Amino acid sequence: MAKRERTAAGQKDETLLDLSHLRRETRTALELAVVALAPSELMDRLAKSAGLLEAIAELPTDSAPVVALVPGLMTSARSALDDWHTWYRRYLEKKIARG
C-alpha cells in the first residue's frame, strides 16, 4: 500500500513540476512574441494560456477548477507554444544574426 501511495504522490509532483515549467515557458514565449510583434492571434493564445496557468498556480492542486481546467489547459498551452516555435523559426530566426 505504501508503494502505491508513493507512486501516486510521485505522479502528482511530476504534474506540478510540468505545470510550473509550462507556466514559465508560456510566459517567456508571450514576452518574446510581444517584443517580436508576432501575429495577434498567436499572442492572444499565449496570453490566455499564461494567464490561466498563473491563476491556477494560486489555487490548491486538488480544487475543482484546477482539476477541471488542467488537462485542456496543458493541451492548449503546448499547442500555442508549438505554434510560437514554428512562427519563430519561419519568420524571426532568419533575421537574428548568429555570431
Reported as a single tens digit per residue, the pLDDT across 28-77 is: 999 999 999 999 999 999 999 999 999 999 999 899 999 999 999 999 99
| pTM for the full predicted model | 0.80
- pLDDT the model gives residue 92: 77
Domain total of the chain: 1
d(CA 97, CA 80): 25
What domain range is 25 assigned to?
Answer: 2-95
State in Å, rounded, how far the first CA of the chain is from the last one: 56
Residue 4 has pLDDT above 60, yes or no: no
pLDDT above 90: percentage of residues in the chain: 70
